[in-house]
Amino acid sequence: MRSLWNLISLPLFQRRDEPASSMTCRRCRNTDPAPGRVPAPAPAAPRSVREPFSAAEWDEVVRAAAIDKVEQVLADSYALLAEQTPLRPADSPDLAHVRRIRAVLTVLAEDLGPRGRAARPDQRDWIDSELLPAVLRAEAEIGSVVADSR
């Protein structure tokens, strides 16, 4: 199973005191040199070069990525239900299974969301080891409903 870190695409950050001309815009591939160097931001806390983010910042990145993934699976499953409900009987066990998965994912999204509980210190490990694999399994189960219907 791939790690959560392989699933998160982080923006391209410019290193401190790196000339702006050495950066390439991902969208336009513009390499026009900007005059001068980019000033280093004032650090909130001293950090080593190897640790560009604090543990709390990484926790927030992981939490946001988990919320995004849960919301993506919810949106995909909603589209599936909208497409498949008219084509199947009202008491279809497959659609009932998708609805149960959606109910669980909705509770998880509310728990992790901005109005949810405050982040726990061990939440990042829990997200990486338990939540993300469960969400990916749910996504696969929802996808199998579509595959079975075709």
Residue located via tokens 């726990």: 120
Q: What is the mean pLDDT of each run of 10 residues along the chain (150 residues)?
A: 49 49 50 51 58 75 84 88 82 85 85 68 79 87 76
Please answer whether residues 102 and 74 qualify as being in contact, where contact means their C-beta atoms are separated by less than 8 angstroms: yes
Looking at residue 48, its pLDDT comes to: 57
Looking at residue 121, its pLDDT comes to: 67
Looking at residue 83, its pLDDT comes to: 85
Task: State which amino acid sits at residue 81.
Answer: L
In sign, the C-alpha dihedral spanning 20, 22, 23, 29 is positive
Sequence ranges of the domains in the chain: 55-149
Looking at residue 16, its pLDDT comes to: 47
